[in-house]
Amino acid sequence: MMATDISDVLFGTPAPLLSRVNLGVLKHDEVNLVVHGHEPTLSSLIVRVCYEPEMIEYAKSKGAKGINLTGVCCTSNETMMRQGIPSAGNDLNQELCVMTGAVEAMIVDVQRIMQSLSDRAPKFHTKFITTSPKVKITGATHIEFTEHEELNIARDIVKIAIDNYPNRKQVQIPSAVSDLIPGFSHEYIRYMLGGYYRGSFRPLNDAVMSGRLRGVAGVVGCNNPRTTQDAGHNYIVKELLKNDVLVVQTGCGALANGKYGLLMGEAALEYAGPGLREVCEAIGIPPVLHMGSCVDNTRILTVLAEMATEGGLGEDISDIPGVGIAPEWMSEKALAIGAYFAASGAYVLFGVSSPIANSEEVEKS
């Protein structure tokens, strides 16, 4: 929760904007950079550098039409919800991006970086660049990010990508791409529900009390290679929408359903039950709200706390008809977040299998 608040202080509180997601955001005729990991510090500077006229001219001097910055995983969620930078997809898209042969550089910070990328990347001409002192991978180029020389480091990295453009060989970019609207911070949801002077969660509580909404679900978390990518997220969310449940998403789950167009207003017409559809049309929101990266799940807790404080549904988070679901989780962080939600009183469900299932004692506790 502190990390989310401090990120908002440093980089701005997100508000809805239009962006795109899936491998089709990569471009045939531009230098493609992919930022990957979980931290917005370096990536927000890379965004800035990619728009510098000298840098764009430099890319043109190498035969490209421009610079195309994209991302995967939650660094991508960070740059997408604040700067509208398109996302090449979620966790299990990281190797697929490289295998298009169109990625000049993949720049990673921390968490969920597949070590296999250092073997994979050179085969598809991609420069694989690690930037955090916590993540050094054999075979990768390590350019450590330090706050004192931040812009120069970002420029060096973008130049490496541009210099690599003429080395492209066979390129195959899938055409799949969808629009999505990320950036629903709890501050913005409050504003949407009542405006600047009368912002409140009352309309949401009223919608639940009148039966138009049956509840709120946070469908969050990772991809898991033990199950078909995105299938769990997609199935559960469509069932919830059909049953008049407003869905909020973060992390790879949000990107999963973004690929299927569920994070657009039009999805209410196609998938939502009559009550949810009415609420979405009245407020002007999609039936599935993107609330940030996976470290931003605390934004969802804040919504639940605000609903409890508003009154009418009970005294505590445990009284709210809400659920937190991680259908394809796999990281330790997902477990920690799930524990935080359960301890806060939320009903929590985890999908796939449990890595501690063999220890009866640990599982019980």
Told to check if 40 binds ligand SF4 by CB under 6 A, we report no
Closest to ligand SF4 by CB, 104 or 328: 328
User: Could you say whether residue 251 binds ligand SF4 (CB under 6 A)?
Assistant: yes
Q: Are 304 and 328 in contact (CB under 8 A)?
A: no
Nearer to ligand SF4, 111 or 132 (CB): 111
Task: Provide the minimum distance between the beta carbon of 252 and ligand SF4 in the complex, in angstroms, as a whole number.
Answer: 3
Q: Is 205 in the site for ligand SF4 (CB under 6 A)?
A: no
73 touches ligand SF4 (CB under 6 A): yes
Check residue 285 for interaction with ligand SF4 (CB under 6 A). no
Q: How far is the CB of 94 from ligand SF4 (least distance, A)?
A: 9
Residues from 81 through 120 that contact ligand SF4 (CB under 6 A)? 90-91, 111-112
Q: Choose which of 267, 331, 341, 346 interacts with ligand SF4 (CB under 6 A).
A: 331
Q: How far is the CB of 120 from ligand SF4 (least distance, A)?
A: 18
Q: Which is nearer to ligand SF4, 2 or 148 (CB)?
A: 2
Residue with tokens 């207003």: 265
- Please report whether residue 291 would count as binding ligand SF4 according to CB under 6 A: no
Nearest CB to ligand SF4, comparing residues 245 and 295? 295
Choice between 154 and 334, CB closer to ligand SF4: 334
CB of 342 to ligand SF4, least distance (A): 18
- Shortest Å distance, C-beta 250 to ligand SF4: 7
Total residues in contact with ligand SF4, by rule CB under 6 A: 15
Choose one: 45-53, 133-141, 196-204, 218-226; the region binding ligand SF4 (CB under 6 A).
218-226
Within 8 A by CB and 6+ apart from 168, the residues are 101, 102, 104, 125
Is the Cβ of residue 73 or residue 305 nearer to ligand SF4 in the bound state?
73
- Residue nearer to ligand SF4 on the CB measure, 241 or 254: 254
Binding of residue 74 to ligand SF4 (CB under 6 A): yes
Decide whether 42 or 56 has the Cβ nearer to ligand SF4: 42
Can you give the three-state secondary structure of the chain, one letter per residue?
A: CHHHHHHHHHHCCCCCCCEEECHHHCCCCCEEEEEEECCHHHHHHHHHHHCCHHHHHHHHHCCCCCEEEEEEHHHHHHHHHHHCCCEEECHHHHHHHHHCCCEEEEEECCCCCCCCHHHHHHHCCCEEEECCCCCCCCCCEECCCCHHHHHHHHHHHHHHHHHHHHHCCCCCCCCCCEEECCCCCHHHHHHHHHHHHHCCCHHHHHHHHCCCCCEEEEECCCCCCCCCCCHHHHHHHHHHHHCCEEEEECHHHHHHHHCCCCCCCCHHHHHCCHHHHHHHHHHCCCCEEECCCHHHHHHHHHHHHHHHHHCCCCCCHHHCCEEEEECCCCCHHHHHHHHHHHHCCCEEEECCCCCCCCCHHHHHC
Binding site for ligand SF4 (CB under 6 A): 73-74, 90-91, 111-112, 221-223, 251-252, 294, 331, 333-334
